[in-house]
Amino acid sequence: MGTRGLQPCGAVPCRAVPCRAVPCRGAAQAPMEYVSTRGGVGAVNFEGALFSGYAPDGGLFMPQHIPLLDGDTLRRWSRLSYPELVKELCSLFITDGLVPRSTLNDLIDRAFSRFRHKDVIHLSRLKDGLNVLELWHGVTYAFKDLSLSCTGQFLQYFLEKKQKYVTILVGTSGDTGSSAIESVRGHKNIDIFVLLPKGLCTQIQELQMTTVIEDNVHVFAAHGNSDEIDEPIKELFADVDFARKYNLMSLNSVNWSRIMVQIAHHFYAYFQCAPSLDTTPLPVVEIVVPTGGGGNITAGCIAQKMGLPIRLVAVVNSNDIIHRTVQHGDFSLSESVKATLASAMDIQEPYNVERILWLLSGSDSRLTKTLMERFSVLKSLKLPEDLHRKLSETLRSCSASDEDIVRAMQRCWEENRYLLCPHSAVAAHYHYSQPDSTPRCCLAPASAAKFQDALLRAGLVPPLPPEITALTTMETRSTLLERGQDWAQALRERIKVVAQRWEAQGNRSALPGQREISGQGVTQT
């Protein structure tokens, strides 16, 4: 894309980040670097952010500046396919000197080569203005295949270039684990360790993880909920010496690469649903985002700051911390995680809220650090009045009960003969509750085929693609983690055993850039 269509600092008011962080572009692209939301470490390049997951100070990496796009660029991009949009967006956040544009294009093409739909994603236009953007045509029938397939290719590019090795830790509430596994399965220089909540994923979700019998895939089924399985992972990352020695990284949506790719959903949704791009100003489209950990809604906030004229709605299930935060500034845990039909959204601690607060506070890392550390200790936080106002201006929100989900699934089937997964039904519930005719796009994160119990509860017949049917007859492999057991220690021991195998083969070496990014104020090269 080069520099055409990028607005200089004075072109539009910058509310997301200070103007000094939005560079005026000259003849060449300014290097894109990433900073922690908590401000305790120096800037890193894309490679450093990719391999870190959490920043060493406990924060999350974000771009040091957000590129601003003008109307002409948006109109030109409206003619692009989804893969072409991903390439354009990634080229803004990955410096050409780090990954040449031609190589970047090849990596993204390779990432999408296993998708079942020729367009990778697809918009279904249904009755009463219900537009459903199907993000689930990847290998595991979930939207996370989109970002993780690209992230897996980025990882391989750097690891093969430098002949390095990495250990991936992933906690999953359902779909992340299988998508992460598929993105790196069989890779000789990656081992992946996945923790899933035993009995709280659907049978299909669990089988998609436990039936992958590869030497580099290690699945743990823990008797705990989604938030509880995050705790041992956080503990291992907090042990800096252990994390450095065994080259730990995350593929949850703490990883910036996941957020970056997901920005494209919002651009594509906008271009598909905007009535016309011939007007000035451009029309507004409402994007309805089923929300759990907050990665997709964070990507939407970034798309807004890039100049995309969208209105965002975060829709949640009965685990409604994001809804309460938007409505009342109450970022506080409930007594416990509630098990719902939309199981992948059964999350009480949506860690990407930290990125949104950082964006809306004008990149105020000191405030973000104070707020998140207070929440970490008290599990309760009242947002400052000004920050809450900015959040409520940026997002709308809605909460749906299991009954709401079932009714939305039934209505969509009756009116369209179209099956929604329970997460997509949360978005449809919001649409059905709105009397206006606002152009709107509901993101559909997963195929209904993965959620047979929810479909049966709605009195609907679940589809069974052959790939899913085959899972029930395949060999499975996983390690059970009981309540009361030290899960972090069990992970440590397995990681050490795997490391010994690699050391014995003479394959193990340091993570690229690990030494550099662990220091204060050092820019990774």
Residues carrying an active site annotation: 144
* CB-CB contact of 300 with 314 (8 Å): no
H helices within 34-164, ranges in order?
A: 46-52, 71-77, 82-93, 101-111, 144-162
* CB-CB contact of 314 with 396 (8 Å): yes
Instruction: Name the nearest CA neighbour of 446 among 42, 124, 123, 136.
Output: 136
Number of H helices, E strands in the chain: 21, 15
Cα–Cα distance measured from residue 13 to residue 9, given in angstroms and rounded to the nearest whole number: 8
Total number of residues shown for the chain: 525
* CB-CB contact of 300 with 397 (8 Å): no
Contacts of 84 (CB under 8 A, 6+ apart): none
The CA-to-CA distance between both ends of the chain, in Å, stands at: 24
Cα–Cα distance measured from residue 372 to residue 60, given in angstroms and rounded to the nearest whole number: 11
Query: Cα angle at 366 between 292 and 232, to 5 degrees?
Result: 45
SS3 state at 215: coil
Structure tokens at 59: 């924060």
* CB-CB contact of 12 with 68 (8 Å): yes
Q: What letter does residue 222 receive in the DSSP assignment?
A: E
Cα–Cα distance measured from residue 39 to residue 54, given in angstroms and rounded to the nearest whole number: 13
215 CB burial (10 A radius; 0-12, 13-18, 19+): exposed
What is the full DSSP assignment across 370-397? Answer: HHHHHHHHHSEEEPPHHHHHHHHHHEEE
The H or E element containing residue 207 is helix 203-210
Cα–Cα distance measured from residue 514 to residue 518, given in angstroms and rounded to the nearest whole number: 6
Cα–Cα distance measured from residue 52 to residue 374, given in angstroms and rounded to the nearest whole number: 23
Contacts of 484 (CB under 8 A, 6+ apart): none
Instruction: Name the nearest CA neighbour of 341 among 207, 446, 430.
Output: 446
* CB-CB contact of 419 with 446 (8 Å): no
Give the count of beta carbons closer than 10 Å to the beta carbon of residue 402.
18
Q: Which amino acid is at 131?
A: N
